[in-house]
C-alpha cells in the first residue's frame, strides 16, 4: 500500500452519469481540480454539452483517454455500470500514478478486485459501497435529493491508514458523508443483499421505493430475494442476518417514496441491467454451494428476457 504524502486535490471521475455527476459536482463546488475521464464520442459529447446536476450546468474539463497527457489523479472514482468497467479501467489507467487512490461506487461484489487486477499493484484500491442516495439520470440531466454516504476502507479498519485518512478528509471537504467501518467485507455483502432485493424487485415491478416501504407483495418479493443472499452469504462465511435486514428497512424508510433504484432507471430507459452482477451472482454461488435460489433465477430470466443480456 502506498503512503499518501499530500492531501487529495486532483479528482478523476470516470462515468458522468447519476453517481459520477453527483460526486463531480460536490468536488468541483468545493474547489478540487476535477476531471471527467472519457474517450472518443463520450469525450466529445461531454465537452460539447455539459451535464446538468440539479439543474445547474456542471463544467468539468475532460481528460480524453485517446490523447497523451500529463495530468494524473490523486483520487479516481469509478462510476460506470458493470458492463463498462473493463473499458473504464483501460481509460483510467492513463491518469493513475503509483500514489493514486481508487474508489469504486459500482454495485456488486467484485469491481474493486477487477480494478486492482486491471490497474496492477501500484495504486491503492479501497473497498467502497455507496449508500442511501437517490441519484437519477435522464439523458444528460442528473438529479439527486440525497447524496447518501460513502462507506469505504480496507478490508479491516481497526486503525485508520494514511490512505483512508486522506479520502476521509477529501470527502469531508467536499461536503460528502462517509463512514469507515471495522469490517468492510460485511458491508459489501450488506449492500449486495440490498441491491439483489430492491434493485431487482423494483426493476421487474416498475416500482419506486414507496412500494417497498410497507408490508405487501412488493416487499415480500424483495424479502424472498434477500433471504437467498443471506443463505449464500453464510456459505461464503459472511454473517448476514435479521439485524442487517432491519438496518436496510431503516435506510429504506428514509428514501424518497418516488425515488428509483439504478436498475429501475435502466429498465425504464431500455438499457441493459446489472442483473448478472446481482441475481446472476447469487445463482452462481447457489450452484457452487448446493443452495436453491429460485427467486433470483426467475428474476435473472425475466430481466434477461426483457432487456437482453448485459
Ligand atoms: N444511481 C444510484 O442511485 C446508485 C448507483 N450505484 C451504482 O453505481 C454505478 C453507476 O451507476 P449510475 O451512475 O446510476 O449509472 P449511469 O448509467 O447513470 O452512469 C454511468 C455513466 O458512465 C458512462 N460510461 C460508460 N462507459 C464509460 C467509459 N468507458 N468511459 C467513461 N464513461 C463511461 C455512461 O455513459 P453512456 O451513457 O454514454 O454509456 C454513463 O454516463 C452502478 O454500478 C450502480 O449500480 C450505486 C448506488 C446508487
Ligand atoms: C441502494 C440503492 C437502491 C440506492 O442507493 C442503490 O444502490 C441503487 O439504486 O443502485
Q: Which three cell numbers stand for residue 310?
A: 448485459
Residue 310: pLDDT band with limits 50, 70, 90: very low
Q: 3.40.50.720, 3.40.50.2300, 3.30.1360.120, 2.40.30.10: which CATH number matches 10-182?
A: 3.40.50.720
Residue 309 has pLDDT above 60, yes or no: no
* Angle made by CA atoms 108, 118, 101, in degrees to the nearest 5: 80
Return mean pLDDT, the chain.
Answer: 94
Residue 213: per-residue pLDDT = 98
Residue 291: per-residue pLDDT = 98
Residue 230 has pLDDT above 90, yes or no: yes
In this structure, are residues 146 and 256 in contact, taking their beta carbons and an 8 Å threshold?
A: yes
Task: Please state the rounded mean pLDDT for residues 32-50.
Answer: 93
Residue 55 has pLDDT above 70, yes or no: yes
- Cβ of 276 closer than 6 Å to ligand 1, yes or no, is no
Q: Are strands 177-179 and 62-64 parallel, antiparallel or unpaired?
A: unpaired
CATH code 3.40.50.720 region(s) in the chain: 10-182
Q: How far apart are CA 99 and CA 3, in angstroms?
A: 7
CATH code 1.10.1040.10 region(s) in the chain: 185-307
- Cβ of 194 closer than 6 Å to ligand 2, yes or no, is yes
The per-residue pLDDT for range 92-118, each reduced to its tens digit, is 999 999 999 999 999 999 999 999 999
Q: How far apart are CA 309 and CA 302, in angstroms?
A: 11
Which atom of ligand 2 lies nearest, measured to the CA of 251? Answer: 1
Residue 308: per-residue pLDDT = 63
Which ligand has its closest atom nearest to the C-alpha of 136? 1
Q: Considering Cα of 187, then 190, then 192, then 198, what sign does the dihedral take?
A: negative
The per-residue pLDDT for range 263-283, each reduced to its tens digit, is 999 999 999 999 999 999 999
- Cβ of 14 closer than 6 Å to ligand 1, yes or no, is yes
254, 258, 263, 267: CA torsion to nearest 10: 170
Task: Please state the rounded mean pLDDT for residues 200-206.
Answer: 97
| ipTM (interface predicted TM) | 0.98
The per-residue pLDDT for range 127-179, each reduced to its tens digit, is 999 999 999 999 999 999 999 999 999 999 999 999 999 999 999 999 999 99
CA 104 to chain CA mean position, Å: 6
The per-residue pLDDT for range 243-269, each reduced to its tens digit, is 999 999 999 999 999 999 999 999 999
Which atom of ligand 1 lies nearest, measured to the CA of 45? Answer: 38
Ramachandran angles phi, psi of 100, nearest 5°:
-65, 140
> What's the CATH number for 185-307?
1.10.1040.10
Q: Are strands 56-58 and 96-104 parallel, antiparallel or unpaired?
A: unpaired
Amino acid at each position: 500500500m502506498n503512503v499518501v504524502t499530500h492531501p487529495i486535490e486532483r479528482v478523476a471521475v470516470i462515468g458522468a452519469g447519476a453517481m459520477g455527476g453527483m460526486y463531480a459536482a460536490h468536488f468541483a463546488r468545493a474547489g478540487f481540480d476535477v476531471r471527467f475521464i472519457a474517450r472518443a464520442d463520450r469525450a466529445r459529447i461531454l465537452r460539447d454539452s455539459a451535464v446538468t446536476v440539479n439543474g445547474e450546468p456542471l463544467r468539468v474539463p475532460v481528460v480524453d483517454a485517446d490523447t497523451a497527457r500529463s495530468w494524473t489523479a490523486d483520487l479516481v472514482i469509478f462510476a460506470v455500470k458493470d458492463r463498462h468497467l473493463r473499458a473504464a479501467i483501460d481509460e483510467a489507467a492513463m491518469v493513475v500514478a503509483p500514489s493514486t487512490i481508487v474508489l469504486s461506487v459500482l454495485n456488486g461484489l467484485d469491481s474493486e478486485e477487477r480494478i486492482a487486477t486491471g490497474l496492477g499493484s501500484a495504486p491503492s484500491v479501497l473497498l467502497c459501497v455507496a449508500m442511501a442516495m437517490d441519484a437519477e439520470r435522464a439523458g444528460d440531466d442528473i438529479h439527486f435529493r440525497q447524496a447518501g454516504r460513502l462507506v469505504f476502507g480496507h478490508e479491516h479498519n481497526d486503525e485508520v491508514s494514511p490512505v483512508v485518512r486522506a479520502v476521509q478528509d477529501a470527502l469531508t471537504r467536499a461536503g460528502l458523508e462517509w463512514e469507515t467501518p471495522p469490517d468492510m467485507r460485511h458491508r459489501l455483502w450488506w449492500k449486495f443483499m440490498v441491491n439483489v432485493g430492491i434493485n431487482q424487485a423494483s426493476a421487474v415491478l416498475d416500482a419506486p421505493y414507496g412500494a417497498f416501504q410497507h408490508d405487501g407483495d412488493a416487499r415480500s418479493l424483495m424479502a424472498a430475494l434477500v433471504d437467498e443472499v443471506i443463505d449464500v452469504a453464510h456459505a461464503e462465511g459472511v454473517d448476514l442476518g435479521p439485524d442487517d435486514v432491519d438496518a436496510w428497512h431503516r435506510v429504506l424508510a428514509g428514501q424518497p417514496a418516488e425515488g428509483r433504484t439504478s436498475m429501475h432507471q435502466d429498465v425504464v430507459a431500455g438499457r441493459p441491467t446489472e442483473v448478472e452482477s446481482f441475481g446472476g451472482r447469487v445463482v452462481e454461488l447457489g450452484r457452487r454451494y448446493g443452495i436453491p435460489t429460485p427467486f433470483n433465477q426467475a428474476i435473472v430470466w425475466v430481466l434477461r428476457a426483457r432487456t437482453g443480456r448485459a
